Structures are given as C-alpha cells and as structure tokens.
Chain A
Amino acid sequence: MAAIPILLYNAYGGERLLVPVSLKDGEGRLGFVKALIDTGAPNTMLFENVLEKFRRLKAVGFSPPKYSTLGGANFERKTIGNITICLRDDADNVIEIEHEGQVGVSYNPQVAKSNPLEMILGLDFLIAHHAVIDLKNPAKPVLVITE
C-alpha cells in the first residue's frame, strides 16, 4: 500500500486532480509528465505532445484501429509498448508500475495543437491498483494504491 501525494491543480478552469509521473521505457528514463486522474476515462493514455517531448517514443496503430472520443474530439489510440509509470509516495519511495502505454493521436490539427493534457490515469490503472482518492484533507490530497 502506498500513499501518493497529488495536487489540486488549478490551470484548467477549475481544480483537477493531478499527479506528477516520471516515465521510463526499455531504454531508461524518459522524464516527467503531468497526469490527470480521471475516473471517467476507461483507459490510461498519453497524448501526442508527449511523443514530441520524448522523441524516442514511437506509436504504432492497432489492427483494427482503436479510437477514443474525449470532449467531442476523436483520438486514435496507438501503442508504445510497455512503459514504467513511476510515482513518488509520501515516504519518498519511488514506486514503479509496468503498464502498456497507449497514446491518443488526433487527426484534427486544431485539437492536436491546443490539447494541454499529457497523460490521463484512467479507470484501468485505478482499478488494477485498488486506488482510493483521499480528499479528507484538501490541503494534502493523496491517491492510495496497492502496488
């Protein structure tokens, strides 16, 4: 069991639950992304701006293709293979969780250009790790997970 400090993040026109995530792939460390905790999203997903930020990541389409619609915008979900999601707990341990990485790629340049999201931690991740979002102390919200 681990308690991951999370943030009530205010940059999207209201408070959203955000967790800092460090990503690794088979070649090692990639870097940090801001991950939105979204209980309404079935899939954990990165977005194409992360492919631009960490340029060695390559996305491959599924056959047949898979799609997600977010806020009315269509994204094709592509795989980047297994990645490691690294989270820091409240005792300063880094918890590493293997996950099949998927990237949402939009074919609408306006959506691709304006999407500020980097990653969504969706229900698949939250269920797999028996997550509890604890907002009892709004100044110190935590995501409790089972590794």
Chain B
Amino acid sequence: MTQSLEISDFDSFTNDLRWLSDNIETLRPEYHNRYVLVKNCKIVLSDSNYENLLNAAIHQKIELATAVIERILPANVQLLL
C-alpha cells in the first residue's frame, strides 16, 4: 500500500513538472520572476517571495511534500551552473 501511494505521488509530482515545463512560455508573462506552486497541473499559488509562498501554502493546508515549486525565470535568462 505504501509503495502504491508513493508511486501515485511520483506520478502526480512528475506530471506537474512536465506540465510546468511544457507550459513555461505561456505562464511566463504572468508569473515571471515569481515563485509558483503547482498542483494537479495548475498554479494554485504564486508569490515573488519564496518564504511567503510557503507560509501561504501552510496557511491554506496545501501539502508541500508533493507540491512542485518553481521560480519562473524571465525569458532572456538561462540558468547555468
């Protein structure tokens, strides 16, 4: 049971990552330079400050353990390491 629950969480998290990756260009104008929290293939929260986003999620009882959180970079920025 634990294994199947974890697999369904893997599926949800992966689907949300894929959705964000596939839709980044259409989301960017509204959310650029903001952190977004994605659940079930939609943005449920956004904030320019990471800590504020987490606090809002906790306040709304959104489970952070399975949430995708991403900062939407401006279109002309590429993240290199």
Residues in A lying within 8 Å of B, measured CB to CB: 5, 7-14, 16, 18, 20, 22, 29-32, 34, 36, 38, 40-41, 49, 52-54, 70-71, 86, 88, 92, 94, 113-118, 120
| Contact across chains for B69 and A7 when beta carbons are under 8 A apart | no
Instruction: For the complex formed, measure the closest distance between the CB of B48 and the CB atoms of chain A, giving whole angstroms.
Output: 9
Contact flag A71-B49 (CB < 8 Å), given A7-B14, A13-B73, A20-B13: no
With known contacts A20-B10, A20-B13, A32-B13, A12–B72 Cβ distance under 8 A: no
Q: Is the CB of A31 within 8 A of B79?
A: no
Q: How far is the CB of B76 from chain A (nearest CB, A)?
A: 8
Chain B interface secondary structure, helix, strand, loop or mixed?
Answer: helix
Distance (whole angstroms) from the CB of A94 to the closest CB of chain B:
5
Chain B interface residue count, CB cutoff 8 Å, equals 35
Say which residue of A12, A14, A94, A118 sits within 8 Å of B6 (CB atoms).
A94
Rank and list the top 9 A-B pairs by shortest CB-CB distance, nearest first: A31-B65, A13-B78, A116-B71, A12-B79, A88-B10, A10-B21, A32-B13, A9-B21, A20-B14
CA distance A113 to B22 in the complex (A): 25
Cβ contact within 8 Å between A7 and B66? no
Q: Would you call B24 and A10 a contact (CB within 8 A)? A: yes
Q: Are A49 and B72 in contact (CB under 8 A)?
A: no
Give every chain A residue within 8 A of B66 (Cβ-Cβ): 31-32
